[in-house]
Amino acid sequence: MKMEFFGDGPALVIEGEYRLLIVADLHFGIEADLAAHGLHFRSRSTDRLERLLKIIDMADPDMLVLLGDIKHSIPSITRQEYDELPVILDTLRSRIPLKVFPGNHDIGIEPYLRDAELQPKDGTILDGVGYLHGHMYPSPNLTGHLMVIGHHHPLLLLKDEVGCALQTPAYLRAGLDTDKLGMNTLVENTPPTRVLFMPAFNEIAGYDILQIVKNPFSPLSRFMKTEDAEIILADGTYIGSLSSLQSDETA
């Protein structure tokens, strides 16, 4: 297994037998929700799609895995999504086969997807790696695998010597407490089960990693082993362990 990081996504290529391009949390249609919160911007769907197409061209994968929250509005589809979504999905599938793991924002997306594209919400193994959106308990079948998930939109706050800070998308890799997650671990010599939290592709979504750890909002974030968690920037720069960041914070 080999990984390639695309910082401009953020996107990830995982290469085993095949080259899979992984992208999480596109949140097409987020602008309608922003407006409801008093922030008024035109739809940036085209820009976001262009960015994704460019990465597909660069990465040249065999398949595109969308880790959920393709769309944004819940509980129903907005006018913006009704207009945009079919075009977006058609544009993508005209280039490359799709696999979609629906997320909590994807209510009502099924009619827009083909049968072979739609994947189980609690995840499945593709080419040796587990995938799911990450808002619910993972399927026990994923035990002993690396699970790549979206949903959490991790951002890292970086500080330079004087304290000037910036937030940047980052990956969080951690071990899992499989017992508490109700995952089958009876088999001896099971390789470790790990989770990789993927940053959101949507350019304005984001939560501080330390907040995700402090106030977990999903089974996987609640039952990860924070002591061996490590952080990697969107472009693949290794940052270090979560615990070293936490000690910075309290220093």
Partner 1 sequence: MKQLELLDPKVQVCIKKRGFSVLSEAQKQAIPLIHDGNHVVLIAPTGTGKTESAMFPVFNALLSMPSRGGFKAIYITPLRSLNRDILARMQWWCRELGLTVGVRHGDTPMGERRKQALAPPDLLITTPETFQALFMGKRLRKHLTQVRFVIIDEIHELAGSKRGAQLVVALERLHVYAGEFQRIGLSATVGNPDEIARFLCGKRPFSVVQVPVAKQLDITVRFVGDDFQKQTEILSKILKREGSTLVFVNTRVTAEALGHALYEHGDVEVHHGSLSKEVRIDAEERFKKGEIRILICTSSMELGIDIGRVDHVIQFGSPREVSRLVQRVGRAGHQLNTISRGTILATGFDDLLESLVIVKKAKANEIERVVPQRCAADVLANQVAGIAVEYGEIEQSKIREILERTSVFADCGTLLDDVCRQMEEHLLIRLDGTRIITTARARRYLSGNLSMIHDERKVPIFDMVSRRTVGTLDESFVVGWVHTGVVFITKGQLWRVIEIADGKLTVEPAKKALGELPSWEGEQIPVPFSVAREVGEIRRRRNISAYTTERDSIRFAQMFLTEMDKNRSLVPSDHLITLENTDEGVVCNICAGHKTNEALGRVLSILISARYGTTVGLELDAYRMLLHLPSSIRSSDVRDFLLSLEPSHMPGILRLALKRTALFKWKLVQIAKKFGAIDPDADYEKISIQRLLEYFEGSVVQQETFRELLSEYMDIDTAAEVVNKIKRGDISVALGPFSMIGAGGLFSSRDLVPPPTADQAVLATLKRRLDQDDVFLACMNCRDWKIRTAVSRVPDHPQCPKCGARLIAALKPYEDELYLAMRKPRKTQADHAIEQRLLKNANIVLSSGKKAVIALSARGVGPENASRILATLTDGDAFYREIMKAERNFIQTHRYWS
Residues 51-70 that bind partner 1 (CB under 8 A): none
Of the residues 125, 208, 219, 228, which one makes contact with partner 1 according to CB under 8 A: 208
> Residues 19-58 vs partner 1: string with x where CB under 8 A?
-----------x---xx-xxxxxx-x--------------
| H or E, element range at 5 | strand 2-6
Nearer to partner 1, 34 or 107 (CB): 34
Nearer to partner 1, 118 or 158 (CB): 158
**Cα-Cα-Cα-Cα dihedral sign, residues 73, 214, 139, 12:** positive
Give CA–CA dist 81/87, Å, rounded: 10
Cis before 61 (ω within 30): no
Residues 77-136 that bind partner 1 (CB under 8 A): none
Which ranges constitute the DSSP H helices of 94-152? none
Tokens 């990081």 map to which residue? 5
Beta strands 154-159 and 165-176, pairing class: antiparallel
**Cα-Cα-Cα-Cα dihedral sign, residues 129, 135, 141, 142:** positive
Beta strands 154-159 and 207-208, pairing class: parallel
Q: Does 164 bind partner 1 (CB under 8 A)?
A: yes
Q: Does 182 bind partner 1 (CB under 8 A)?
A: no
Q: Does 237 bind partner 1 (CB under 8 A)?
A: yes
Least Å from the CB of residue 237 to partner 1: 6
Nearer to partner 1, 1 or 87 (CB): 1
Contact by Cβ (8 Å): 239, 231:
yes
Total interface residues for partner 1 by CB under 8 A: 50
Binding site for partner 1 (CB under 8 A): 1-5, 30, 34-35, 37-42, 44, 146, 155, 157-168, 191, 203-206, 208, 210-211, 232-233, 235-240, 244, 247-249, 251
